[in-house]
Each structure stands twice: as C-alpha cells, then as structure tokens.
C-alpha cells in the first residue's frame, strides 16, 4: 500500500467504518501510522477489521457508533480518548441512499437519509471540533476533519435526488464549519468521489443499466477505491496545515 503522507502520532476516527470507503480508510490510516477508531453500528464487522489491523502491527479499536444519535457519538469519542487520546483526524463518512424517483420515495426513508447523511456529519464533526478546541488545537493547529461528499452533488439525474442534495448540503456545511473554526486550528475539507463499486450499490454495475452507465463515462470504467488514498491522507495529515474549506473532486473525469 503506497503511503504518500504519514499519520504517525495521530488518532483517527472513521465514521461508517464497517464497509466500503470507511473500511478502506481504516486500513489505509493504520498503515500510515495512525491509531484508528472504527465507528459503526455493525460492530461485528468493525471488530473483525480491528483484529485484522492489530494482527498486522497496527493499532485499532472498534466502537459502536450511530451517527444519528448524539449520545452514541459522545460515547464513541469518550472511548477513543480513553484508549488512544484526543482524536485529531476525523472522517465523516457514514452515509445511506434512498434510490427511486422523488415522487416515490417515502417520507420516512427521506428522513433516515437526511439524519445519516447530513445530521450525522454535522454531529460527528461538531463533537470532534469541541474536543480538539478544548485540547488546544488553536495553538497546535492539528485538527483535521474530512467530509465524504459525492460528485452527485454537482450533477442532476434520476433516482438519487435526495442523496445528491444531502451531499450538496454537507459540502456547504464543510465550508461553513471551516470558516467557523478557521482560528481554532481545525481544518475542514470535503472530498467528492466519483462512482466506485461498494456495497451500497449492490449488483447495479452488473445490470444492463449499470453497464450503460459505465459506458457513458469518458474513460469507460469505474473508479478504483484506492484512487482516494492520496487525498484522504493529505487532508488528514500535518501536510494540509494551510488547507481548509476546500472541496475536491476525485472522480477519474466522470463528471466532466
């Protein structure tokens, strides 16, 4: 695994670490030297991943985390601090989809999506910032928060309006939080991945519709999950000390 930026000495909290992006980021951050806290509701998966990381010489712990529940978020940070110290690299990654035409998506599914994709990002970032500021981040300039957006926030289409709007919302949230904490040594940046095959899409890309979508990309291919590694490490490391309020597209040219 290529490690362009070191996270040695850092404690990282990955929200939504049980699969997909989150699981990848957990292994990546551990390989880069961070102490990694794996937060998710599916603790059986995060426990297995933490065991794998620890067996490979890393430092990881699995902690229950429901990003829609502030008490769960506080308990997760408490557990992280008790074992590894202050969390200074935070990845707000947890997300769900509510596919279907907007006229068909039930209100309860819409609410669940907004609770996870927007409220969850807000609460995870806010709790992390509170603790960083209390620990002296203004002087240390060590706070790093990375929000996982999506290129759908810049596009229009059918079947993912609520998801796309939630990602557009957290993009603007990220810039506002960056502005609010700019003098507190807490940097907030957003990465917009393109279409990458993960568990959330199921077998879509093996269907005729999915194959047609891939054929419509300029490079006629899906993006590799590893393509996010350099930017994730950069935004989470000391190297990005003077970068905050950015939102960066990493999508293999899919949105061009």
Q: Which two tokens stand for residue 142?
A: 């060590």
Q: Which two tokens stand for residue 16?
A: 């939504």
pLDDT at 244: 98
Question: In angstroms, what is the C-alpha Rg of the chain?
Answer: 17
pLDDT at 203: 82
Helix (H, G, I), strand (E, B) or coil at 199: helix
* Active-site choice (77, 122, 163, 195): 163
From first CA to last CA, the distance across the chain in angstroms is 29
CATH number of 11-247: 3.40.50.720
The domains of the chain are located at: 11-247
pLDDT at 231: 97
Q: How far apart are CA 63 and CA 160, in angstroms?
A: 30
Active site residue 163: yes
Tens-digit pLDDT profile for the chain (256 aa)? 778 799 999 999 999 999 999 999 999 999 999 999 999 999 999 999 999 999 999 999 999 999 999 999 999 999 999 999 999 999 999 788 877 788 888 999 999 999 999 999 999 999 999 999 999 999 999 999 999 999 999 998 767 899 999 999 999 999 999 999 999 999 999 999 999 988 777 787 889 988 998 999 999 999 999 999 999 999 999 999 999 999 999 999 999 9
Which residues touch 198 (CB under 8 Å, ≥6 apart)?
19, 20, 21, 225
């Amino acid at each position: 695994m290529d490690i362009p930026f070191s996270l040695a000495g850092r404690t990282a909290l990955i929200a939504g670490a049980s699969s997909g992006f989150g699981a990848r980021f957990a292994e990546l951050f551990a390989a880069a030297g961070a102490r990694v806290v794996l937060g998710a509701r599916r603790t059986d998966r995060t426990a297995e991943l933490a065991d794998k990381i620890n067996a490979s010489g890393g430092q990881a712990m699995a902690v229950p985390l429901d990003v829609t529940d502030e008490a769960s978020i506080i308990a997760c940070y408490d557990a992280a601090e008790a074992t590894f110290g202050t969390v200074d690299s935070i990845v707000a990654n947890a997300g769900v989809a509510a596919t279907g035409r907007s006229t068909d998506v039930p209100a309860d599914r819409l609410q669940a999506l907004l609770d996870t994709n927007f409220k969850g990002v807000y609460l995870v970032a806010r709790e992390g910032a509170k603790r960083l500021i209390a620990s002296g981040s203004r002087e240390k300039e060590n706070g790093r928060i990375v929000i996982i957006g999506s290129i759908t926030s810049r596009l229009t289409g059918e079947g993912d309006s609520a998801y796309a709007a939630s990602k557009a919302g957290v993009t603007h949230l990220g810039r506002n939080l960056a502005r609010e904490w700019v003098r507190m040594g807490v940097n907030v940046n957003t990465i917009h991945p393109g279409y990458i095959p993960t568990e959330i899409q199921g077998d879509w890309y093996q269907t005729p519709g999915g194959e047609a979508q891939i054929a419509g990309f300029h490079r006629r291919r899906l993006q590799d999950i590893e393509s996010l590694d350099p930017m994730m490490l950069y935004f989470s490391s000391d190297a990005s000390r003077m970068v905050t309020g950015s939102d960066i597209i990493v999508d293999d040219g899919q949105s061009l």
